[in-house]
Amino acid sequence: MKAVRYHDFGGPEVLRCEDVERPTPGAGQVRIQVTATSFNGIDAALRAGRLQGSLPLRLPHTPGPDVTGTIDALGEGVDDEDGLRVGDAVIALLPMDGDGGSAEYAIAPAQALAGVPRNVPLAEAAALPLVGLTAWQALFDHGRLVAGQRVLIHGAGGVVGGYAVQLAREVRAHVIAAVGPRDVGRVCAVGVDEVIDHTTELTAALSDPVDLVVNLAPTTSRQLAALLPLVRDGGRLVNAAVDTAFGASAPCDESRGVQGIDVFVRSDADQLADLVARVCTGELLLDVTRRVALADLPALHAQAEAGTSPGKVVVLVHPAPPAREVGNP
């Protein structure tokens, strides 16, 4: 089968499209004929070897933890009782320390799989898992956001930010979006309570402190520390942009009981199924900027590195076959 892999850490040039053996699913796993994966900033950080301390990879590595496709083979112990059959259309966030979906076939733990949204093409759904789960986990698992609380989403104009704004609005939080001038119109269209231009002085722009700041922007330690005074006593600063070249970590302010928390997204099939259900009802809108072929993945990494590929890019592998759908909703 074709797979895009790297044998060394480095720039986009380490990515190669190769012929490799089709993998066999082990116990508790399934093999997926991949319809699509997507590009995430974290793919670049992993490829550069920047996360070897926190998330060591064995080389060669196939990137792309997002995957949609159809089940092609079941490993030992996976059967109808798991609600999974060959031919089912599925979506998953694959474990990031294993091979990803930038290949014609991928191996997934059965417990990571969720059913696909019926109202969007299977390939488009590959835009959802990693960024949707990051937004969910930052807001709710780590941020403990509830109705009526004030949340500042710093970097709201980006891909994760788009989902974070939608999810925070849905729980009826007061949503304040800090974005660059280019993204003001876009977040206003989604509907936020307040918009702040992130190039201005945030403390002056914010009327009152917030319960939660979610940082999604590439920030230095100093910029991250500048977000801390925006949080009310006892509130939280949750930082998802841990994989950037700055490698900054969320600070705490113990004197005021403000917690600083770094987020590293984890696979969670129940949360993913919940996100899929919201896509099905139209509460959560997918945002795909463009689509490229698997062979163009090295070029896509180069464009992302050069800052010329904003938004979410889906990487198409196999055309989606007509398939039964499993799980919810």
Ligand X SMILES: NC(=O)c1ccc[n+]([C@@H]2O[C@H](COP(=O)([O-])OP(=O)(O)OC[C@H]3O[C@@H](n4cnc5c(N)ncnc54)[C@H](OP(=O)(O)O)[C@@H]3O)[C@@H](O)[C@H]2O)c1
Binding site for ligand X (CB under 6 A): 40-42, 130-131, 134, 154-155, 157-161, 178, 180, 182-183, 198, 216-218, 240-244, 263-265
Question: In 3-state terms, what secondary structure has residue 177?
Answer: strand
For ligand X, which is the closer residue by CB, 71 or 284?
284
| Residue 234: burial class (beta carbons within 10 Å; 0-12, 13-18, 19+) | exposed
Phi first, then psi, for residue 95 (nearest 5°) are -55, 130
Taking the complex as a whole, how short is the minimal distance between the CB of residue 89 and ligand X, in angstroms? 24
List, in order, residues 6 or more apart from 302 with CB less than 8 Å away. Answer: 11, 12, 13
Taking the complex as a whole, how short is the minimal distance between the CB of residue 291 and ligand X, in angstroms? 17
Rounded distance between C-alpha atoms, residue 303 and residue 310, angstroms? 9
Pairing mode of beta strands 105-109, 29-38:
antiparallel
Taking the complex as a whole, how short is the minimal distance between the CB of residue 82 and ligand X, in angstroms? 27
For ligand X, which is the closer residue by CB, 92 or 159?
159
Whats the size of the chain, residue-wise?
A: 329
Taking the complex as a whole, how short is the minimal distance between the CB of residue 241 and ligand X, in angstroms? 4
For ligand X, which is the closer residue by CB, 114 or 263?
263
Q: Before 329, cis peptide (omega within 30)?
A: yes
For ligand X, which is the closer residue by CB, 32 or 304?
304
C-beta neighbour count of 322 within 10 angstroms:
7
For ligand X, which is the closer residue by CB, 78 or 135?
135
Rounded distance between C-alpha atoms, residue 182 and residue 185, angstroms? 7
Taking the complex as a whole, how short is the minimal distance between the CB of residue 203 and ligand X, in angstroms? 14
Question: In 3-state terms, what secondary structure has residue 111?
Answer: helix
Q: Which residue is nearest to ligand X (CB)?
A: 158
For ligand X, which is the closer residue by CB, 180 or 251?
180
Q: How many helices (H) and strands (E) does the chain have?
A: 8, 16
Taking the complex as a whole, how short is the minimal distance between the CB of residue 66 and ligand X, in angstroms? 11
